A and B are shown apart, each in its own frame.
Chain A
Amino acid sequence: TQLLEQSPQFLSIQEGENLTVYCNSSSVFSSLQWYRQEPGEGPVLLVTVVTGGEVKKLKRLTFQFGDARKDSSLHITAAQPGDTGLYLCAGLIQGAQKLVFGQGTRLTINP
């Protein structure tokens, strides 16, 4: 059973379009992180959100943590081919230190 469900699992869109990736759970997390992974590399942290309702922006990327700290979203505006990669959400389980990951969203931006 996957603790964190990401959707969609695959997304292929044209350059310039907008997209949203979702990360959902029935569990409450102390914090939630988004990582990006390139082929042959380990994941690299993009952002951490810790407060329910928190919104963080990183250039064209907007991250939101749900009010109940059970879900999160990643929105990309005007996607670029350089955004292509595997996007992973990860939650720090409340009361523990275990960092658990979703199954990832493989994003392809076509020129």
Chain B
Amino acid sequence: GAGVSQSPSNKVTEKGKDVELRCDPISGHTALYWYRQSLGQGLEFLIYFQGNSAPDKSGLPSDRFSAERTGGSVSTLTIQRTQQEDSAVYLCASSLFPGRNTEAFFGQGTRLTVV
């Protein structure tokens, strides 16, 4: 596709349920990031994938959060046993290659609401 695509755009779930958020990066981009953004706030780093290297999971807030990237392309962020504090916009970004001049292209995000 022309840009980074995220689905669903909105998700309302009940507390305690599991959710999966999907990210389709720009074709050929080797780097993929997940961020979380609370209302009106900055971006909180969650996880970073680069090619076939082990992902940098240092930003995942708890073991309820996990992410996969299959075939170096599509990524799924899974949140188990959702809590109300998980409510936020989850943003995915991809970049062509890691490097100082690399631009991160963002999707429009998934707005997650836990009720």
Contact = CB atoms under 8 A, between A and B. Distances in A.
B50 to A, nearest CB: 6
Nearest to B48: A98
Interface in B65-110: 91, 93, 98, 100-109
A31 B42 contact: no
21 contacts: A31-B100, A31-B101, A33-B104, A41-B108, A42-B105, A43-B106, A48-B103, A50-B100, A50-B101, A86-B40, A88-B42, A88-B43, A98-B45, A99-B45, A99-B48, A100-B45, A101-B43, A101-B44, A101-B45, A104-B43, A106-B40
A45 B50 contact: no
Q: Which of A6, A31, A33, A42 has the most CB of B within 10 A?
A: A42
Nearest to A51: B100
A98 B35 contact: no
Contacts of B56: 96-98
A44 interface: yes
Interface of A: 2, 6, 30-31, 33, 40-45, 48, 50, 86, 88, 90, 92, 96-104, 106
B41 A42 contact: no
B71 to A, nearest CB: 20
B26 interface: no
B112 interface: no
Contacts of B93: 42, 99
Given A42-B91, A92-B100, A97-B31, A103 B41 contact: yes
A106 to B, nearest CB: 6
Smallest CB-CB A-B distances: 8 pairs: A42-B106, A103-B42, A101-B43, A97-B98, A31-B100, A104-B42, A45-B103, A50-B100
Q: Which of A40, A44, A86, A101 has the most CB of B within 10 A?
A: A101
